[in-house]
Chain A
Amino acid sequence: MSVAPKEDRVNELTIFVRNLDPQVTERILYELMLQVAPVVRVKIPKDRVMQTSQGFGFVQFKTVQDAEYAERLFNNLMLFGRPIRIKRNSEP
């Protein structure tokens, strides 16, 4: 009963970042997002076999307002010459 609301909450706090250059590390993404808000965690999932970035990642913030602000400020920002695309995870 309490599990579903908790997951919703995490989704609201998380942004989905795609079109990431392979050179974008979790540390770089963390530092970028830290410029606008405290970051709870950053994940750039790696291909299980190749251990390479698949070009997307997730960043979780402490508040919904932080997630919204990061989306507005950093959507289409160029990293290694590629525009990163950001959507809040809760959006359809």
Chain B
Amino acid sequence: DSYRDLRPGKLSAELRNALGLPPGVAPPWIPLMQRLGPPPSYPHMSMNEEKDVSVASNLGNPVEKTAWGSLQPDEESEEEEED
């Protein structure tokens, strides 16, 4: 049929337009998907499927997330010292 070109994890320009989603930006359902777990029919789906997505890949790895989080207080305290 005419939908055969469509793939999970790869959004067409047409769908991105409907979502108001610029190229390279993660789909808005990714955070909820990470909470719910992968779709039942795609148990091995990576939740940062799209290779050009930076937001999703930042959320994907808990180790990275911790490392990033620990940098923030340092930056804030430096700003406070300057004030």
A73 near B18 (CB under 8 angstroms)? no
Interfacial chain A residues near B14, Cβ < 8 Å: 27-28, 31
With both beta carbons as reference points, the residue of chain A lying nearest to B15 in the complex is identified as A31
Given A31-B12, A38-B41, A62-B41; A69-B18 close (CB under 8 Å):
no
Q: Is A24 in contact with chain B by the CB < 8 A criterion?
A: yes
- Provide the bound-state CA to CA distance between A74 and B36, in Å: 12
Q: Is B6 in contact with chain A by the CB < 8 A criterion?
A: yes
Q: Is B3 in contact with chain A by the CB < 8 A criterion?
A: yes
Interfacial chain B residues near A32, Cβ < 8 Å: 15, 18
CB proximity of B69 to chain A, nearest CB, Å: 26
B42 near A36 (CB under 8 angstroms)? yes
- Provide the bound-state CA to CA distance between A72 and B55, in Å: 22
Q: Which of A23, A34, A69 contacts B40 (CB 8 A)?
A: A69
- Provide the bound-state CA to CA distance between A79 and B18, in Å: 5
Within 8 A of B (CB), among A29-49: 30-32, 34-39
18 contacts between A and B (CB under 8 A): A31-B3, A31-B6, A31-B12, A34-B3, A35-B11, A36-B33, A36-B41, A37-B41, A63-B41, A65-B41, A66-B40, A69-B36, A69-B40, A72-B32, A72-B36, A77-B28, A78-B19, A81-B20
